[in-house]
Chains A and B, each alone.
Chain A
Amino acid sequence: MESTAGGLQRKLTLVLIIVTSILIVALAFVSVMMGPAEISPGQALAIIADSLRHGVSTDGAYSASQAYIVMNLRLPRILSALVAGAVLAVSGAVFQSVFRNPMADPYVLGISSGASFGVALASLGGMIPAWAGSWGLPVSAWLGAMATAALIMFLAGGGGWSKTSLLLTGVAMNYLLSAAITLLMYLNQEHLDRVLFWTLGSFGSSDWTKLSVMAAFAVVTCVPLLSMHRELDMMLLDETTATSSGLSTRAWRMLLLAIATASVASVVSFCGVIGFIGLMAPHLVRMTIGPGHKRLLPCSMIVGAFLMLLSDTLARTVMGTTELPVGVVTSIAGAPLFIILLRHTISRRRR
């Protein structure tokens, strides 16, 4: 039985989870040491161990500034990248199922741009009340993203569109929103850096507070999505089969899209727009272990987390002291995959 396709899928799931988890831990360790300030593996371990025990260094193995860099700069940044990668990967997988389109993802469809526009507009326009605190940004991102998603759904007519029409709608949406964001930049030239941050994506400003809010959003959005694996599977069927099997397709499509959009919005509000993780991670996982969402979603999470940490580590180290926007790195890797998928889809339809 194990030589069959189904048996192979099950085996590979375990291999994928174990291998990726080991890679994540190893990469996180490497990442904590890398950067302008030199920190040895032993120092990094000692700093983290001491912090976990709430102890203070007594033997002088590391300096206070090294401890600060690890605990308040690098560690929250690494964890933010992992959380953001996991969330973007899950939301990508959900979008691909809801639109029954392997190229649909929040970035491609302009949902991420909608979120960044919402955040930029609200924060530059001073629309976020002081009492909202750390929650003001994700909520305004969510509003921007939801408006974009609603517009896409309205235009796409509930998934009845061809694959390319949907993508073209996303392209148009991205044009529109990037024009709007450029306009914001012109009107608020003194805050140019902040707007650029949301459009290019960066984990440079990660801290424990932002991380905990983002993680809270990740939990309340991803846990329900993980439990909806059956609905996500059924979404891949044709409308008649899914509906007659008992799925209220219209209601579920709205719900799944709303949750996935909320999860993306929270990531965008803290880290800016980072493209293609939601495309790459689910695609790599689907190729390995098949399309079933019970395994696809958790596996995409860890693969997405790994890809994001890898991208961010590259982004802050390849150019020496100059930091690249992480979105540049993910796009260099992800855009070619998008083109390959597009060619594949078009040739399949012609056949």
Chain B
Amino acid sequence: MTHPTQESNAVRFNHLSGGYGTKVLFHDVRLDIPAGRFTSIIGPNGAGKSTLLKYLVKVLLPQTGTVYIADHDVSTLRQRLLARHVAMVAQNGTSDYEFTVFDSVAMGRYAHIKRFSSLTKEDRDSIEYALEATGIRTMRDKLITELSGGEAQRVLLARALCQDTDVIALDEPINHLDPFHQRDIMRLLRQLVDRNGLTVICVLHALDAVQVFSDHVVLMHEGRIVATGTPRQVLTPRSLKETYRIDVHEVTDPATGATLLLPTW
């Protein structure tokens, strides 16, 4: 995991300011997300992490500033075109309607399908790939309402994958999962970066997962970027104390010899 500053950027947030209504959340946020890397966005609740992702997929528009994806200004891209550059796994993205897994995943192809035409071979290949990559091929005909939390999260990821984008943004994808399925999803994301060269931008709360899986970490606090860099550079007892207001101490993992941060309860 090399330091990614010299590499090309997939996404650039340029002088962003904005918020909800009159409440200003962002003050001149500048941030580059390296291409083909796993970037984690961390920070206490209300830091603006989810809002940053919503600016990226144009669910929200910043008051000032520009978001660039693959050198395109997001605000000038039509939603359909933007959806071919970046996909998103939203928080609480599961639906309580009885769609099958296949139909649910196939919705990820929306930005590629022409009106009046049915799924092309390219669409089907893309859906099969997404089902395969997320390990849910055998569940294709199940109803999404019958799935467990971990399986439902895989369906959301598969839908984002078959959108066929270079960048995938995820908003707390492992929040409601048990430790086994948390690891499962994190490994899957890591694989997508390593094998497929995907750019993953992931809002996370599990600091241990952040340390193990990310190449690049962005620490946010009260609408500002506090620190960016490798996990070792960003995750320090001091930075976590100043943002999360928690005490951590460094321990050495006996299995791998890596230095890990352990919060004090």
Q: Which of A6, A240, A286, A290 is B88 in contact with, Cβ under 8 Å?
A: A240
Q: Using Cβ atoms and an 8 Å threshold, which residues of chain B touch A236?
A: 95, 97, 99
Check if B95 sits within 8 Å of A243, measured CB to CB: no
Check if A291 sits within 8 Å of B59, measured CB to CB: no
How many residue pairs, one in A and one in B, have C-beta atoms under 8 Å apart? Answer: 97
| One of A120-128, A244-252, A300-308 contacting the partner | A244-252
Instruction: List residues of A (216-273) whose CB comes within 8 Å of B's CBs.
Output: 227, 230, 233-234, 236-241, 243-248
Instruction: List residues of B (172-228) whose CB comes within 8 Å of A's CBs.
Output: none
B40 to chain A, nearest CB (A): 19
A241-B88, A241-B93, A291-B99 known; A6 vs B141 contact (CB < 8 Å):
yes
Please report the C-alpha to C-alpha distance between residue A240 and residue B93 in the assembled complex, in whole angstroms: 8
Check if B93 sits within 8 Å of A6, measured CB to CB: no
Q: Does A4 contact B (CB under 8 A)?
A: yes
Which of A5, A227, A246: most chain B CB closer than 10 A?
A246
A240-B93, A245-B108 known; A6 vs B103 contact (CB < 8 Å):
yes
Check if A237 sits within 8 Å of B107, measured CB to CB: yes
Check if A240 sits within 8 Å of B100, measured CB to CB: no
In this complex, how many residues of chain A approach chain B with their Cβ under 8 Å: the count is 27
Q: Does B159 contact A (CB under 8 A)?
A: yes
Check if A227 sits within 8 Å of B103, measured CB to CB: no
Check if B103 sits within 8 Å of A244, measured CB to CB: no
Check if B93 sits within 8 Å of A243, measured CB to CB: no
Check if B141 sits within 8 Å of A7, measured CB to CB: yes
Check if A234 sits within 8 Å of B107, measured CB to CB: yes
Please report the C-alpha to C-alpha distance between residue A240 and residue B79 in the assembled complex, in whole angstroms: 12
Q: Using Cβ atoms and an 8 Å threshold, which residues of chain A touch B107?
A: 230, 233-234, 237, 245
Check if B59 sits within 8 Å of A246, measured CB to CB: no
Check if B95 sits within 8 Å of A237, measured CB to CB: yes
Residue of B nearest to A290 (CB): B98
Q: Does A292 contact B (CB under 8 A)?
A: yes
Q: Which of A230, A233, A238, A248 is B93 in contact with, Cβ under 8 Å?
A: A238
A246 to chain B, nearest CB (A): 3
A244 to chain B, nearest CB (A): 4
A234-B110, A292-B99 known; A4 vs B115 contact (CB < 8 Å):
no
Check if A246 sits within 8 Å of B141, measured CB to CB: no
Q: Does B47 contact A (CB under 8 A)?
A: no
Q: Using Cβ atoms and an 8 Å threshold, which residues of chain A touch B96?
A: 348
Please report the C-alpha to C-alpha distance between residue A86 and residue B82 in the assembled complex, in whole angstroms: 37
Residue of B nearest to A8 (CB): B141
Check if A243 sits within 8 Å of B79, measured CB to CB: yes
In the complex, which range does the number of interface residues on chain B fall in?
35 or more
Q: Does A340 contact B (CB under 8 A)?
A: no
A245-B83, A247-B110, A292-B103 known; A5 vs B95 contact (CB < 8 Å):
no
Q: Does A319 contact B (CB under 8 A)?
A: no
Residue of B nearest to A286 (CB): B98
Q: Using Cβ atoms and an 8 Å threshold, which residues of chain B touch A227?
A: 115-116
A228 to chain B, nearest CB (A): 8
Instruction: List residues of A (269-316) whose CB comes within 8 Å of B's CBs.
Output: 286, 290-292
Q: Using Cβ atoms and an 8 Å threshold, which residues of chain B touch A239?
A: 59
Check if A244 sits within 8 Å of B59, measured CB to CB: yes
Check if B92 sits within 8 Å of A238, measured CB to CB: yes
Check if A245 sits within 8 Å of B110, measured CB to CB: yes
Q: Using Cβ atoms and an 8 Å threshold, which residues of chain B touch A233?
A: 99, 103, 107
Check if B90 sits within 8 Å of A240, measured CB to CB: yes
Residue of B nearest to A228 (CB): B115
Q: Which of B78, B90, B98, B110 is A230 in contact with, Cβ under 8 Å?
A: B110
Q: Which of B79, B91, B142 is A6 in contact with, Cβ under 8 Å?
A: B142
Q: Which of B57, B95, B99, B143 is A244 in contact with, Cβ under 8 Å?
A: B57
Q: Does B163 contact A (CB under 8 A)?
A: yes
Q: Using Cβ atoms and an 8 Å threshold, which residues of chain A touch B110?
A: 230, 234, 245-247
Please report the C-alpha to C-alpha distance between residue A6 and residue B116 in the assembled complex, in whole angstroms: 23
Q: Does A1 contact B (CB under 8 A)?
A: yes
Residue of B nearest to A3 (CB): B141
Instruction: List residues of B (93-144) whose CB comes within 8 Å of A's CBs.
Output: 93, 95-103, 107-108, 110-111, 113, 115-116, 140-143
Q: Using Cβ atoms and an 8 Å threshold, which residues of chain A touch B95?
A: 236-238
Q: Does B87 contact A (CB under 8 A)?
A: yes
A1-B141, A5-B142, A7-B141 known; A246 vs B102 contact (CB < 8 Å):
no
Check if B58 sits within 8 Å of A245, measured CB to CB: no
Q: Does B27 contact A (CB under 8 A)?
A: no
Q: Using Cβ atoms and an 8 Å threshold, which residues of chain A touch B247?
A: none
Residue of A nearest to B94 (CB): A238
Q: Does A330 contact B (CB under 8 A)?
A: no
Q: Using Cβ atoms and an 8 Å threshold, which residues of chain A touch B99?
A: 233, 236, 290-292
Q: Using Cβ atoms and an 8 Å threshold, which residues of chain A touch B92?
A: 238
Please report the C-alpha to C-alpha distance between residue A234 and residue B79 in the assembled complex, in whole angstroms: 14
Binding site for B on A (CB under 8 A): 1, 4-7, 9, 227, 230, 233-234, 236-241, 243-248, 286, 290-292, 348
Binding site for A on B (CB under 8 A): 54, 57-59, 78-80, 82-84, 86-88, 90-93, 95-103, 107-108, 110-111, 113, 115-116, 140-143, 146, 156, 159, 163, 169, 171
Given A244-B86, A245-B87, 9 additional A-B pairs, CB 8 A: A1-B141, A5-B141, A5-B146, A6-B101, A6-B103, A234-B110, A245-B108, A245-B159, A246-B80
